[in-house]
Amino acid sequence: MSPSLQSYLTAKRTVDDRALNRRVLGRCSDELAGIDEPARVVEFGFGVGTMIERLAEWGRLPERTSYRAIDRDPENVAVARERIPDRLEATDYRIVDEPDTGWENPREGARADTAGRRASGRSIDLTLEVADALSTEAIADRDTASEGDSRADAVIAAAFLDIVDLERALSTIATILEPGGLLYAPITFDGATGFAPPHPLDARIERLYHRHMDDIRDSGGSTAGRKLLSSLPENGFETLAAGGSDWIVRPRSADEGREYPAAERTFLEAILETIDEALVAYPGDVLDPADRRTWVSTRRRQLEESELSFVGHHVDVLARLENG
């Protein structure tokens, strides 16, 4: 059975943790610290909430943060509602439990934790929203909202700008950011997908997989990272920091042989499934189905035997919307 989207998003938490460019993240944290509190943060495509958890666990948010998290998948939001209170329990942050926060049906454990952490002074006023952040309706709602409701000090778009229309996304982000507001866009894919040990079909499979991103998939692209860097000035942004962020997943030595850390086997299962689904779109004169099956079955066997390693290249970017 293929991993669910929510299982994949949960499993890649540790992969992203290693990959994130610490220099870019540090600059982002420093810039957020200079914002008048509460800092107003909006995250596009927040998945199951791993970025919120990470920033709180790593102490990268201001002491008082208003955090609006948007994802169009109701199942992602449902999982996030279950995960986040438990993950924030060990941090210095509390979830503000107020009627207007959008935190529907908070778990009793979260409510008790809120009461117990008031002395710390660190709080996240958290809203989880089921919506397409780039939809016409959502943009119209922001345009007609009051100034205080519609503007943000920072937008986070993690592993997001490579799967949407980049120009449209930057335009939307510029619409909701305050002049001088921040865009933090980590884990933006940029043109490299590799596996080890090598296979004779690797180069062809990678080329067709990336071509699918560029020509067949509805939006996004295989070189979104470098396109982001060139598109920022054209959309009124100044790049503050940028750096590489690579997914590297490999088996590690364990007491009973070799094993993948945490849930990273599930992550790799989902990556192979995604590639296979993309390759199926090609007719036989472009890719022989037997070649596809051979490559995929070999990689799945290597994964089962804890022999498969994987590298995916991304770019992390921090930018500021220029004044006027």
Q: Is the pLDDT of residue 21 over 60?
A: yes
Amino acid found at 56: A
Confidence bin at 137 (pLDDT 50/70/90):
low
At 249 the three-state DSSP class reads strand
pLDDT score, position 138: 55
Q: What pLDDT was estimated at residue 135?
A: 81
Q: Mean pLDDT across the stretch 303-323?
A: 97
Please give the residue that has the higher pLDDT: either 151 or 269.
269
Tokens 């590639």 map to which residue?
A: 275
Residue 13 has which token pair?
């938490």
Q: Does CATH number 3.40.50.2300 belong to domain 5-191+219-247+315-321?
A: no
Q: Which of 9, 19, 14 is nearest to 247 (CA)?
A: 19
Cα(41)–Cα(61) distance, rounded to whole angstroms?
10
Over residues 27-61, the pLDDT tens digits come to 999 999 999 999 999 999 999 999 999 999 999 99
Distance CA 73, CA 4 (A): 12
Question: CA–CA separation, 81 vs 104, rounded Å?
Answer: 8
What confidence score (pLDDT) does residue 211 get? 98
Confidence of residue 197 (pLDDT cuts 50, 70, 90): very high
Indicate whether 226 pLDDT > 90. Answer: yes
Q: What is the pLDDT of residue 107?
A: 29
Which of 224-238, 243-257, 263-277 shows the lowest mean pLDDT across its residues?
243-257
